[in-house]
Amino acid sequence: MALFRTRRNRGTRNGKNTDVHPVDEVLPPVRTLAYGVQHIAAMYAGVVAPPLIVGEAMGLPPVEMTLLIGASLFTAGVATVLQSLGVWKVGARLPFVNGVTFGSVAPMLAIVAQRGQDQSLSIIYGSVLVAGLLAFLVAPYFSRLVRFFPPVVNGTVITLIGLSLMPVGIKWIAGTDPTAPDYAAPGKVALGALTFALVLLFNRFLKGFWNRIALLIGLVAGTLIAWPVGLIDTSTFESAPVFTFPAPFALGTPVFDLTATISICIVMLVAMVETTADMVALGEIVDRPADERTIAAGLRADGAGSALSAVFGGFTCSAFAQNIGLVALTRVRSRYVVATAGGVLVLLGLFPVVGAVVSLVPQPVLGGAALVLFGSVATSGIRTLGSAGLGDPFHSLIVAGALGIGLVPVVAPQFYEHFPSALRTVLDSGISTGCIAAVLLNLLFTTWRGERAATDGDAAATETPVAVPEPRPSTKDTTSDTVR
């Protein structure tokens, strides 16, 4: 039995079995590499941000900080290859990018604050290891949630993913600290707006291969424009080592702490909800619906990737929704493109100096391009909702209620600040709360209504029939009606 399996001949047309689904298409090497690098450009900042934040909170020296970032890149690459190519029953075999989930940052910072800097990484790695194994084991049961994702729920969740990511792009342009002197500086806003316009124009006027890498061209153009005005930070590039290998347990041997483990396990369960929603969304975009088996395999990859990350010095791994937007924007659906991106991520983890080249892209440039990506995700959700029958008032209520709940932490990030920290792990994720709300509202308004209608129909069928008198025999001569 082959270790790596290729699912072919799905989504064929005209009854022919010779067609290869675009997800399984193998593109020419140059194009595959270019499309893969584009995926890395879209998600690089999301991968390096959590280790940067945690490392700074711990006061790690530059050498250990470099090792921490390299380990996150390395493990994200391994998890992405595992997710896209698949091994045995692990991996969704979709163009699905995995990386460090930002949802784990808050509990990891809490661990640093409570346990001090000496043992924090060891406790974090022990917690991530247990959470990854938990996700791997419960994946087959968790995947059964797919039956609760009809088109009205799918479209709502996809739309919410796009809308929830919008503030990320805005923060990349303006900055994360409103009190900083350069927050939303005109130069940064202008650079973000220019990149946004360039990506749109390149998508409009470029053709063929160049159209598919319009985002990458926009990022390069924006970076070149930012260079002479001094908006590029080269400090990371100048201090990065040429080569380093993330040896097992080099940054800390796992230590198991019950409270810390529970907090990271909760984060992992929330990440599994988001991954399920992301897989459903991606399946709709690439025209290969994610069934229960696909979701189970994808969740196993999340768990295996997270457990492996704990060994090599990374953190919990989960889906990167921004790359779903890239698939929707470029219409490049090959999973081998994403597998190539995973391979490049592994190299970036092994050669930090190469990864530092990617870090030269200024945040405003990345933010301007991200707005197009995230808008593409929301557009895909709206397209799905178009086929969900919103003329039904109950379907409209499902969408309205789920979007209203899901957007609360997006428009008011501190809305749940007085709630217990365990609840905030879920409530602060607009994708999670909106997804749960959409599923529950669908059960309330649609499933319950269907069961009630079926019950009423059964009751009507069992009622005593009303006696109808038999018609009297006709005295009319029917011989003239006989067919001759």
Q: How far apart are CA 99 and CA 397, in angstroms?
A: 34
Q: How far apart are CA 168 and CA 421, in angstroms?
A: 22
Q: How far apart are CA 170 and CA 466, in angstroms?
A: 68
- What are the pLDDT digits (tens) for 24-83? 999 999 999 999 999 988 888 778 878 877 887 787 776 777 788 888 999 999 999 999
Q: How far apart are CA 233 and CA 190, in angstroms?
A: 18
CB 281 within 8 A of CB 163: no
Q: Give 257-261 contacts, CB < 8 A, sequence gap 24+.
A: 257/111, 257/115, 257/123, 257/126, 257/127, 260/107, 260/111, 260/115, 260/123, 260/124, 260/126, 260/127, 261/126, 261/127, 261/130, 261/131
Return the number of other C-beta atoms located less than 10 Å from residue 170's C-beta. Answer: 16
Computed on alpha carbons and rounded to an integer, the radius of gyration of the chain in Å comes to 26
CB 106 within 8 A of CB 50: no
- Could you tell me which of 375, 312, 383, 380 has the C-alpha nearest to residue 346? 312
CB 255 within 8 A of CB 116: no
What is the pairing mode between strands 98-100 and 317-319?
Answer: antiparallel
pLDDT value of residue 145 = 76
- What are the pLDDT digits (tens) for 349-366? 888 777 667 777 888 988
pLDDT value of residue 479 = 40
The percent of residues above 90 in pLDDT, for the chain, comes to 29
Query: How open is the CA angle 358-359-365, to the nearest 5 degrees?
Result: 90
Say which residues have a Cβ less than 8 Å from residue 156's Cβ, sequence separation at least 6: 381, 385, 398, 399, 402, 403, 434, 438
- What are the pLDDT digits (tens) for 174-211? 987 888 888 989 999 999 999 999 999 998 999 888 88
Say which residues have a Cβ less than 8 Å from residue 26's Cβ, sequence separation at least 6: 32, 334, 336
pLDDT value of residue 245 = 78
- Could you tell me which of 291, 319, 276 has the C-alpha nearest to residue 138? 276
DSSP letter string over 153-186?
HHHHHHHHHHHHHHHHHHHHHH-S-TTSTTTT-H
pLDDT, block means (10 residues), the chain with 484 residues = 43 50 92 92 80 78 79 92 92 90 76 77 92 94 82 85 84 86 91 94 88 86 88 72 81 85 82 86 90 93 93 88 85 93 91 74 86 84 83 90 92 88 75 86 77 50 48 45 38
pLDDT value of residue 468 = 46
Burial class of residue 396 in the structure, from the number of CB atoms within 10 Å of its CB (0-12 exposed, 13-18 middle, 19+ buried): middle
Residue 15 DSSP symbol? T
Compute, in degrees rounded to 10, the torsion defined by CA atoms 349, 351, 357, 359.
30
21: Cα within 13 Å, side-chain hemisphere = 20
pLDDT value of residue 480 = 39
Q: How far apart are CA 198 and CA 187, in angstroms?
A: 16
The secondary element (H helix, E strand) that includes residue 67 is helix 62-85
Burial class of residue 191 in the structure, from the number of CB atoms within 10 Å of its CB (0-12 exposed, 13-18 middle, 19+ buried): buried
* CA distance between the termini of the chain: 71
pLDDT value of residue 451 = 52
CB 66 within 8 A of CB 244: yes
pLDDT value of residue 11 = 40
Burial class of residue 228 in the structure, from the number of CB atoms within 10 Å of its CB (0-12 exposed, 13-18 middle, 19+ buried): exposed
233: Cα within 13 Å, side-chain hemisphere = 10
Q: How far apart are CA 93 and CA 468, in angstroms?
A: 62
For residue 319, the cross-strand partners are 98
Q: How far apart are CA 433 and CA 1, in angstroms?
A: 41
Whether this model's pTM surpasses 0.85? no
Identify residue 15 by its one-letter amino acid code. Answer: G
The secondary element (H helix, E strand) that includes residue 98 is strand 98-100
The secondary element (H helix, E strand) that includes residue 352 is helix 352-358
Token pair, residue 335, equals: 């999973």
Residue 193 three-state SS? helix
pLDDT value of residue 53 = 74
Token pair, residue 361, equals: 């892209």
What is the Cα 374 distance to its own chain's centre?
11
pLDDT value of residue 9 = 41
Whats the size of the chain, residue-wise? 484
